């Protein structure tokens, strides 16, 4: 059989893997062959709905793309998930983009409690960027989902790109597609900055959104971050790790040697210190279950998949075992379960606290200066 390629991007047409390049539903393939206009689903959606669809690419392709960014004179827009900064960092980003200016976008701001001031989050994100080795030219907080600060972001991009191309980079799940779609919507509603009624060039590795002055916004595909909790759950349970609305913090007064189970996805042990309040920031639907530390291992083995869920009975068969990380804390700190949320601990030098955080093997747990 002759090899079929998409006339939009040149990808080899295939009907099996939805999230891979060239995917075309069987019915569309037949229709395309009839009419002679064969587009893959991604290009079809892009042409007809101005909508970006995710395609997963390999690490190698992603690195190649990043190098390409480094070889051009461009503004780099790095989208991260405020709720999961560590799960959204691109390791070595400043090295790959070699000196190009980076604008940092903290997306999903709608999830954070409303009481948190933007300036505090912006400062916090900027500090994290410094730790990663780059100094963003600006840091903007958005909610792609609720269309908050989209115009603000466009204006900030305009102010900093100075006639250059723009590369939007980010790992999967940070909301990059939703954000680009929101940008396109905002702009096509009000055509002064970017002309997006059509996308002449859709290439496999990136999407070009033409700007009035002949420059482009390039949307590069995201890469999967293996530390994200999301990769261990099925679609039905993803809602627990990808909250859709403002999280309501819950404070628990714990005695030493008490444990909080985070559904069956993680566990927080108060090992030693004075009785005190711990504030938990997790999706509102995730059940937190308090129990005694002694016997907690057996409790988990017995109840994971039923009382402690997600994972479900079925998911638990493939769910990685929980791994313990111990911390001695002498300040106001957050213990972060990557992609799931965090527990705020209020220790100080005179009253140090020892806690242990358990997360599925492969999912990182870290400690950071308290965000809130
Ligand atoms: P991408 O892989 O980076 O392109 O991310 P997507 O755009 O596919 O979004 C990943 C998930 O995050 C989806 O479930 C989105 O609905 C959700 N999402 C995207 N933007 C936001 C946002 O601003 N707030 C919230 N709460 N969720 C968002």
Neighbours of 182 (CB within 10 A): 24
Question: Residue 222 has what pLDDT?
Answer: 62
Question: Residue 363 has what pLDDT?
Answer: 83
In this structure, the residue with its CA closest to atom 6 of ligand 1 is 175
How sure is the predictor about 196, in pLDDT bands with cuts at 50, 70 and 90?
very low
- Which residues does 184 contact at the CB level (< 8 Å), separation at least 6? 50, 52, 196, 209
pLDDT over threshold 90, residue 271 = yes
Name the range with the highest mean pLDDT among 36-50, 213-227, 254-268, 310-324.
254-268
Centre of ligand 1 to C-alpha 348, Å, is 36
pLDDT digits (tens, 9 = 90+) for 328-372: 999 999 999 988 899 999 998 898 999 999 998 878 888 988 887
CATH number of 56-223: 3.40.50.300
Of residues 268 and 226, more confidently modeled: 268
Least confident range from 179-183, 264-268, 356-360: namely 179-183
**For the residues 223-238, what does the mean pLDDT come to?**
64
To test the ligand 1 pocket, which listed residue (144, 148, 169, 186) has its Cβ within 8 A of the most ligand atoms? Answer: 144
Mean of pLDDT over the chain: 84
Do 319 and 360 meet the contact criterion of CB atoms below 8 Å apart? yes
Centre of ligand 1 to C-alpha 243, Å, is 9
Of residues 99 and 196, more confidently modeled: 99
In this structure, the residue with its CA closest to atom 21 of ligand 1 is 145
The Cβ-side half-sphere exposure at 85, using a 13 Å CA radius, reads 25
SS3 of residue 96 by DSSP: helix
Question: Residue 83 has what pLDDT?
Answer: 85
Question: Residue 174 has what pLDDT?
Answer: 86
Helical pair 150-161 and 176-189, crossing angle rounded to 10 deg: 90
How sure is the predictor about 252, in pLDDT bands with cuts at 50, 70 and 90?
very high
Centre of ligand 1 to C-alpha 58, Å, is 21
| Angstrom distance (rounded) from CA 254 to CA 108 | 30
- Written as six digits, the tokens of 330 are 């002498």
How sure is the predictor about 118, in pLDDT bands with cuts at 50, 70 and 90?
very high
pLDDT over threshold 50, residue 302 = yes
**Pocket, ligand 1, Cβ cutoff 6 A:** 54, 107-108, 110-111, 143-145, 170, 172-178, 222, 242-244
In this structure, the residue with its CA closest to atom 9 of ligand 1 is 175
Q: Domain residue spans in the chain?
A: 1-49, 56-223, 231-369
Question: Residue 309 has what pLDDT?
Answer: 92
Residue 143 CA, closest ligand 1 atom number: 23
Least confident range from 46-50, 63-67, 172-176: namely 46-50
Of residues 131 and 267, more confidently modeled: 267
Centre of ligand 1 to C-alpha 241, Å, is 11
pLDDT digits (tens, 9 = 90+) for 286-301: 999 999 999 999 999 9
**For the residues 30-58, what does the mean pLDDT come to?**
72
Centre of ligand 1 to C-alpha 177, Å, is 7
How sure is the predictor about 226, in pLDDT bands with cuts at 50, 70 and 90?
low
To test the ligand 1 pocket, which listed residue (152, 175, 282) has its Cβ within 8 A of the most ligand atoms? Answer: 175
Do 272 and 353 meet the contact criterion of CB atoms below 8 Å apart? yes
In this structure, the residue with its CA closest to atom 5 of ligand 1 is 175
Question: Residue 205 has what pLDDT?
Answer: 53
**For the residues 89-100, what does the mean pLDDT come to?**
84
Whether the model pTM is above 0.85: no
Do 87 and 339 meet the contact criterion of CB atoms below 8 Å apart? yes
pLDDT digits (tens, 9 = 90+) for 141-173: 999 999 999 999 999 999 999 989 899 888 877
In this structure, the residue with its CA closest to atom 7 of ligand 1 is 175
DSSP per position, 229-248: GGGGS-GGGGGGTS--S---
| β 322-329/276-282 pair status | unpaired
| Angstrom distance (rounded) from CA 3 to CA 21 | 15
Question: Residue 197 has what pLDDT?
Answer: 31
| Angstrom distance (rounded) from CA 325 to CA 354 | 11
| β 332-337/365-369 pair status | antiparallel
Of residues 193 and 25, more confidently modeled: 25
């Amino acid at each position: 059989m002759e090899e079929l390629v998409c006339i939009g991007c040149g990808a080899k047409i295939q009907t099996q893997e939805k999230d891979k390049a060239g995917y075309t539903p069987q019915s569309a393939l037949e229709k395309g062959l009839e009419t002679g206009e064969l587009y893959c689903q991604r290009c079809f959606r892009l042409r007809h709905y101005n909508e970006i669809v995710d395609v997963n690419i390999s690490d190698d392709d992603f690195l190649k793309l990043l190098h390409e960014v480094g070889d051009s004179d461009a503004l780099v827009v790095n989208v991260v998930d405020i709720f999961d900064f560590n799960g959204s960092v691109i390791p070595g980003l400043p090295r790959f983009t070699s000196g190009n200016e980076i604008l940092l976008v903290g997306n999903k701001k709608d999830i954070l409690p409303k009481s948190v001031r933007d300036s505090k989050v912006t400062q916090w994100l900027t500090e994290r960027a410094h730790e990663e080795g780059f100094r963003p030219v600006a840091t903007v907080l958005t909610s792609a989902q609720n269309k908050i600060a989209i115009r603000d972001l466009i204006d900030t991009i305009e102010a900093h790109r100075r006639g250059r191309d723009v590369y939007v980079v980010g790992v999967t799940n940070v909301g990059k597609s939703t954000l680009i779609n929101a940008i396109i919507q905002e702009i096509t509603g009000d055509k002064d900055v970017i002309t997006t009624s059509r996308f002449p060039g859709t290439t496999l590795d990136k999407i070009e959104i033409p700007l009035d002055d002949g420059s482009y916004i390039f949307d590069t595909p995201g890469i999967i971050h293996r530390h994200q909790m999301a990769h261990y759950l099925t679609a039905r349970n993803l809602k627990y790790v990808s909250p859709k609305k403002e999280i309501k913090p819950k404070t628990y007064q714990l005695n030493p040697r008490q444990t909080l189970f985070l559904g069956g996805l993680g566990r927080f042990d108060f090992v030693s210190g004075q009785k005190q309040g711990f504030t938990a920031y997790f999706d509102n639907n995730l059940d937190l279950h308090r129990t005694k530390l002694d016997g907690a291992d057996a409790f988990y083995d017995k109840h994971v998949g039923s009382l402690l869920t997600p994972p479900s009975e079925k998911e638990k068969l493939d769910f990685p075992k929980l791994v313990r990380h111990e911390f001695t804390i002498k300040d106001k700190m957050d213990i972060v379960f990557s992609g799931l949320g965090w527990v705020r601990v209020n220790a100080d030098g005179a009253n140090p606290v020892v806690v242990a955080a358990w997360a599925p093997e492969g999912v990182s747990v870290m400690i950071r200066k308290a965000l809130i």
